[in-house]
Amino acid sequence: MHMRTGETAGEIWRILEAKGPLTLGKLTQAVRKDTKTMLMGLGWLLREDKISIEEKGNAWRISLK
């Protein structure tokens, strides 16, 4: 599980680097992982202070720091 979470975090980072800030929905579509793995990857990046998450109305906007 730990390895898969780290790999997902790396994939999230690469997608955000290439595409810029995305909503959680768009990012989930791009990563194509199950919700739990996706959220663990986001948590990993948050813990490392690599991303910021901004709540905009009903959506989350995720970007690299």
The C-alpha atoms of residue 3 and residue 30 are separated, in whole angstroms, by 20
pLDDT (0 to 100) of residue 56: 84
Rounded CA separation 14/47 (Å): 17
Tens digits of residue pLDDT in 7-24: 999 999 999 999 999 999
- What pLDDT is attached to residue 20? 97
Count of domains forming the chain: 1
pLDDT value at 35 more than 90: no
Which residue range is the domain that position 35 belongs to? 2-64
Which CATH number covers residue 59? 1.10.10.10
65 token code pair: 């720091």
| pTM > 0.85: yes or no | yes
